């Protein structure tokens, strides 16, 4: 076993030195990758870039970024070259030890070290020989996780003190960006949870289940991808669409819960939920809430201009609202309501085709039909329990 911070033997150092990258090239790798990492907002992409950076810098066979899952008391990596996600108890293995004690580790012979978690090798059919593990420290001094390189790819096959120093340098540069992206994703997840909960509150006022807004969100996501939107835009729609009926919180129960047909006056009152929802959400400068405001305002507009509240038509209607409209009607028709039983699927599909180019954007209906198997799978997954 190689003690902490001790370098390899002179013979091994000599063999490694012939195949090491020069310091200038290593620094270029660090600066090139950290520049890319600083521009990223996707945690998964940041982790992948960091793993690639470590692998290239010190000629490792594999490199991984481990994060802490405090809820389950585990450390895990979703990015490790050649493997799927790995999870281990928070104090186990080299990475667990490094995180728990806040110390870097430089290990020559993993099999001879009592901290080695051999179960991971058995699971992945891999032989860990030499390891470097460096903890990531956040701005306030708390440990976020660890950077780990496994198996040196050089004639000496042993990591050196030089490798440890460069990996530590890379961890220092990239760790700040990692923390920022983790915070960003936590904020986004919180926003998503709040919007979904608020959407469920709006639906509960009209005696709908929370699964309605979940289904509409998932349908909207699939339709957006089918329309050619990128995954970021589709995810944005998925997060915003649950707010489409938030304005119903201000509609009287006598109208929302009326089992029969609404009078003309009651229907005018019901239509106000679109304007109310818009006014509730449009005050924010946040992109997510502004999208939600437009969806709430325009998801009852019609392609031919006969909808409400403004009677706009065609592509003047917000695309997210047009997609949500199809998702909402599909789910509403297939669900039991106080004023109607659930429709059969064939009847729903016939109506959607009939309203193609009248109520609905024709292209979205075409995409809907293409995506129907996936949409039905979502409906089954989030079906209402009786």
Q: Whole-angstrom Cα distance, residue 174 to residue 27? A: 13
Q: What is the per-residue burial (b if ≥16 Cβ within 10 Å, else e) of 312-330?
A: beeeebbbbbbbbbbbbbb
Which are the catalytic amino acids? 248
Alpha-carbon gap, residue 60 to 49, rounded angstroms: 14
Taken as a whole, the chain contains a residue count of 386
What are the residues whose beta carbons fall under 8 Å from the beta carbon of 210, sequence distance 6 or more? 200, 203, 204
Bridge partners, 149 (sequence order): 63, 132
Distance of alpha carbon 66 from alpha carbon 77, whole angstroms:
5
Contacts of 147 (CB under 8 A, 6+ apart): 50, 54, 63, 64, 65, 66, 133, 134, 135, 136, 167, 170, 171
Helix axes 43-58, 23-38, angle to 10 degrees: 180
Sign, CA dihedral 245-251-255-259, equals positive
DSSP summary character for residue 317: S
Q: For the chain, how long is the longest CA-to-CA vector?
A: 92
Distance between CA atoms of residues 148 and 203, nearest Å: 47
65 exposure class (CB count in 10 Å sphere: 0-12, 13-18, 19+)? buried
d(CA 366, CA 107): 59
The CA-atom distances, in angstroms, between 185 and each of 104, 182, 341 are: 27, 5, 40
Decide: residue 139, CB within 10 A, 0-12 exposed, 13-18 middle, 19+ buried: exposed
- Alpha carbon 244 to its chain's center: 22
């Amino acid at each position: 076993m190689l003690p902490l911070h001790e370098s390899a033997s002179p013979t091994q150092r000599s063999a490694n030195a012939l195949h090491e990258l020069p310091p200038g090239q290593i620094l270029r790798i660090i600066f090139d990758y950290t520049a890319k990492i600083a521009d990223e907002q996707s945690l998964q992409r940041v982790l992948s870039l960091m793993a690639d950076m470590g692998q290239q810098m010190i000629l490792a066979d594999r490199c991984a970024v481990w994060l802490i899952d405090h809820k389950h008391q585990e450390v895990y990596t979703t990015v490790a070259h050649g493997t799927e996600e790995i999870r281990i108890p928070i104090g186990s293995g080299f990475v667990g030890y490094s995180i728990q004690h806040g110390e870097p580790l430089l290990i020559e012979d993993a099999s001879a070290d009592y901290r080695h978690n051999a179960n991971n090798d058995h699971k992945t059919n891999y032989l860990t020989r030499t390891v470097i593990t460096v903890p990531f420290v956040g701005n306030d001094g708390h440990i976020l996780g660890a950077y780990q390189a496994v198996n040196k790819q050089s004639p000496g096959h042993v990591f050196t003190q030089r490798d440890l120093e460069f990996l530590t340098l890379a961890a220092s540069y990239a760790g700040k960006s990692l923390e920022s992206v983790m915070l960003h994703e936590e904020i986004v997840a919180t926003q998503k949870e709040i919007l979904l909960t608020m959407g469920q509150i709006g639906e509960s006022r009209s005696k709908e289940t929370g699964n309605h807004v979940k289904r509409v969100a998932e349908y909207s996501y699939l339709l957006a991808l089918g329309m050619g939107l990128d995954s970021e835009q589709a995810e944005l729609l998925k997060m915003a669409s649950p707010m489409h009926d938030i304005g119903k919180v201000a509609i009287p129960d006598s109208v929302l819960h009326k089992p029969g047909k609404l009078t003309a006056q009651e229907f005018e009152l019901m239509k106000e939920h679109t304007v109310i929802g818009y006014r509730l959400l449009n005050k924010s400068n946040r992109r997510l809430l502004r999208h939600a405001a437009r969806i709430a305002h325009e998801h009852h507009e019609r392609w031919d201009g006969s909808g409400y509240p403004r009677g706009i038509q065609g592509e003047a209607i917000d695309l997210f609202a047009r997609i949500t409209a199809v998702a909402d009607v599909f789910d509403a028709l297939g669900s039991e309501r106080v004023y109607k039983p659930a429709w059969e699927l064939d009847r729903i599909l016939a109506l959607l085709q009939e309203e193609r180019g009248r109520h609905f954007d024709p292209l979205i209906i075409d995409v809907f039909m293409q995506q129907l198997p996936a949409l039905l799978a979502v409906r089954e997954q989030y079906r209402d329990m009786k």
